[in-house]
Amino acid sequence: MEQLSLKDVEKFVSTEIVTFHKNKLEILKRKKLQKLLRDKNPYLFKAKNILIASDLVTNIMDAYLYASEEKLFGDFLEELAIFVAGKTYGGRKSSATGIDLEFEKCGRHYLVSVKSGPNWGNSSQQKKQQTDFQKAVGVLKQSRSEAMVEPVLGICYGKSKTKHLRGYTKVMGQLFWNLLGGNPNLYTDIIEPLGHDAKKHNEEFLKQKAVIINTFTAEFLKEFCGSGQICWDKLVKFNSGNMTDDAS
Contact predicate 155/173, CB 8 Å = yes
Distance between CA atoms of 36 and 56, rounded to whole angstroms?
11
Distance between CA atoms of 153 and 174, rounded to whole angstroms?
14
Ranges in the chain, pLDDT < 70: 245-248
Instruction: Tell me if 27 is assigned to some domain.
Output: no
The β-bridge relationship of strands 101-105 and 108-115 is antiparallel
Instruction: Tell me if 246 is assigned to some domain.
Output: no
Number of residues written out for the chain? 248
- Please give the pLDDT value at position 248: 39
Provide the 10 A C-beta neighbour count for residue 24: 20
**Dihedrals phi, psi of 98, to nearest 5 degrees:** 80, 0
Sheet architecture: strand order including 148-155: 92-93, 101-105, 108-115, 148-155, 168-172, 163-165
Q: Domains in the chain: how many in total?
A: 1
Stated pTM of the model: 0.81
Instruction: Tell me if 244 is assigned to some domain.
Output: no
Which one, of 118, 71, 69, 109, lies nearest residue 89 by Cα? 109
- Please give the pLDDT value at position 247: 44
Instruction: Tell me if 227 is assigned to some domain.
Output: yes
Q: What is the pLDDT of residues 106-128, one digit of tens each?
A: 999 999 999 988 988 899 999 99
- Please give the pLDDT value at position 17: 83
Strands (E), the chain: 92-93, 101-105, 108-115, 148-155, 163-165, 168-172, 225-226, 229-230
Instruction: Tell me if 19 is assigned to some domain.
Output: no
Instruction: Tell me if 235 is assigned to some domain.
Output: yes
Instruction: Tell me if 1 is assigned to some domain.
Output: no
Instruction: Tell me if 20 is assigned to some domain.
Output: no
Domain span at residue 65 reads 6-12+34-117+125-239
